[in-house]
């Protein structure tokens, strides 16, 4: 939703956990400050402190902030430099996506223990349709409470839940319930909930369309609902006008679509200072390949295509990709491929950003594995799986960088240094 909004208060009895949830089969569960909370779980000494996860360099961007940091104005997508200025005493941590993926899988399994109708939106949020679970687990609000209890007891994390007749309203509900809360929007009070909200609360209202609506004097969702469709079409266009008009009346017919698999998994880094040193670029590609490999293994997927993204100092962006004979989740293979793509590209300029991505994902347990000629039966993958296990127990930060940079440097007639 982007900008701050004034929603009905979570303590309002009209929308509290005891409100009438008949006709409210949709739950939206949103983990609270997920990345930061996972870091605090791994490092209990950080509990109660301001924690910021994201790029730690001068060009970095905040991915997640604990609520202690948010009190100082730190928000997701904010430049890290700005976050440091607002909250200089915060603990700033680089993201550990393998740990976040593992925690996400455990949380999503709790959801699937209730209903097979789970639609993940990202690592830290999902829609659930619990209409078929009522006989076994009780009414929707009871199910929401039990989910929150299990997530806290089994994972040491908190989440907020919105219970409503539709996906759109349930997501608004979980937003207002944060942090660590539960909000029910009864079917007969949806408009009572929606119409006082600012127009920015509606999905699809960005800054530009918000300004267009404000110029028309449409400040609340209720104002927009009463506006003539012709006026909306003139200001926003046919499709946007129809979409927002329907939402303003609480109409969202979309069903929960389970198991929307990720189409790709990637990682990228923006350098603090533009680089052209091949050794530094190799080390960076290695680190990115390790992140992608860990996330693939955590999600139980393999990728058939490896893509490389390069942004030069003049902001020119170039992408290259190569399809493998056999899908992989092994960092060594992705590193070898991305380095070969880079040397073939030979950008000849200083580099601002590098990215590695695995595409064409399939389930690992449904993909036959083949050994290349002369390849040992146990090797890089087993070493990386062992590193995953250690990271899950102790945190990725305590695991040293893998020594994948063996063999000869394709761009030099010498043995490369180890990272």
Average pLDDT across each block of 10 residues of the chain; the chain has 419 residues. List them in order.
Answer: 43 78 96 97 96 86 94 92 96 90 94 94 93 94 97 97 96 93 95 94 84 94 95 89 93 85 83 90 94 88 92 89 87 93 86 93 66 45 61 50 42 32
Contact 400, 331 (CB under 8 A): no
Q: Tell me which residue has tokens 């200083």.
A: 350
pLDDT of residue 393: 54
pLDDT in tens, 350-403: 999 999 999 988 887 665 544 443 444 445 666 666 665 655 555 544 444 444
- pLDDT, residue 323, reads 85
CA distance linking residue 8 with residue 15, whole number of Å: 8
> What pLDDT score was predicted for residue 392?
55
Q: Which residues are catalytic?
A: 125
The per-residue pLDDT for 395 is 52
Interhelix angle for 278-299 vs 331-345, to 10°?
140
**Cβ-proximal residues to 49 (8 Å cutoff; 6+ apart), any chain:** 66, 68, 90, 91
**Cis ω before 207 (30° cut-off from 0):** no
- Give pLDDT tens digits for 21-67: 999 999 999 999 999 999 999 999 999 999 999 987 777 889 999 99
Q: Are 163 and 24 in contact (CB under 8 A)?
A: yes
What is the structure's pLDDT at 132?
94
Phi, psi of 200 (to 5 degrees): -65, -15
Full-model pTM = 0.67
Residue 7, token pair as written in the block: 């929603």
- Residue 190 has a pLDDT of 96
pLDDT at 337: 94
Q: Which of 319, 341, 321, 348 is nearest to 410 (CA)?
A: 341
The dihedral formed by the CA atoms of 335, 340, 344 and 346, expressed in degrees to the nearest 10: 40
Three-class HEC string of 143-197: HHHHHHHHHHHHHCCCEEEEEECCHHHHHHHHHHHCCCCEEECCHHHHHHHHCCC
| Residue whose entry in the numeric block shows the structure tokens 């539709």 | 166
């Amino acid at each position: 939703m982007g900008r701050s909004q004034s929603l009905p208060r979570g303590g309002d009895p009209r929308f509290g956990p005891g409100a009438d949830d008949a006709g409210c089969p949709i739950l939206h569960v949103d983990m609270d400050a997920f990345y930061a909370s996972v870091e605090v779980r791994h490092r209990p000494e950080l509990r109660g402190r301001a924690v910021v996860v994201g790029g730690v360099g001068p060009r970095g961007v905040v991915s997640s902030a604990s609520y202690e940091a948010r009190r100082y104005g730190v928000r997701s997508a904010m430049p890290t430099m700005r976050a440091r200025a607002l909250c200089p005493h915060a603990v700033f941590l680089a993201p550990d996506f393998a740990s976040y993926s593992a925690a996400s899988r455990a949380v999503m399994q709790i959801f699937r223990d209730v209903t097979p109708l789970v639609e993940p939106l990202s690592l830290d949020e999902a829609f659930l349709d619990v209409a078929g679970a009522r006989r076994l687990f009780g009414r929707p609000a009871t199910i929401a409470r039990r989910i929150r209890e299990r997530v806290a007891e089994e994972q040491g994390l908190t989440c907020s839940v919105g219970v409503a007749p539709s996906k759109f309203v349930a997501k608004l509900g979980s937003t207002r319930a944060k942090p660590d809360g539960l909000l029910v929007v009864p079917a007969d009070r949806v408009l009572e909930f929606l119409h006082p909200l600012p127009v920015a609360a509606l999905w699809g209202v960005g800054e530009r369309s918000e300004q267009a609506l404000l110029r028309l004097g449409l400040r609340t969702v209720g104002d927009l609902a009463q506006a003539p469709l012709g006026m909306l079409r003139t200001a926003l266009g046919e499709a946007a006008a129809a979409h927002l008009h329907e939402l303003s009346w609480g109409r969202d017919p979309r069903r929960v679509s389970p198991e929307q698999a990720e189409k790709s998994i990637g990682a990228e880094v923006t350098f603090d200072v533009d680089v052209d040193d091949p050794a530094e670029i190799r080390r960076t590609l290695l680190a990115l390949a390790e992140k992608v490999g860990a996330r693939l293994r955590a999600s139980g997927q393999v990728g058939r295509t490896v893509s490389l993204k390069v942004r030069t100092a003049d902001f020119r962006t170039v992408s290259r990709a190569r399809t493998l004979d056999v899908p992989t989740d092994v960092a060594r293979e992705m590193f070898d491929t991305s380095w070969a793509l880079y040397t073939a590209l030979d950008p000849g300029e200083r580099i601002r950003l590098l990215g590695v991505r695995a595409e064409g994902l399939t389930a690992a347990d449904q993909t036959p594995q083949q050994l290349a000629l002369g390849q040992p039966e146990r090797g890089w993958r087993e070493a990386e799986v062992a590193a995953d296990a250690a990271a899950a127990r102790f945190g990725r930060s305590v695991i040293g960088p893998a020594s994948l940079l063996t063999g000869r440097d394709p761009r030099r007639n010498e043995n490369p240094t180890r990272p």
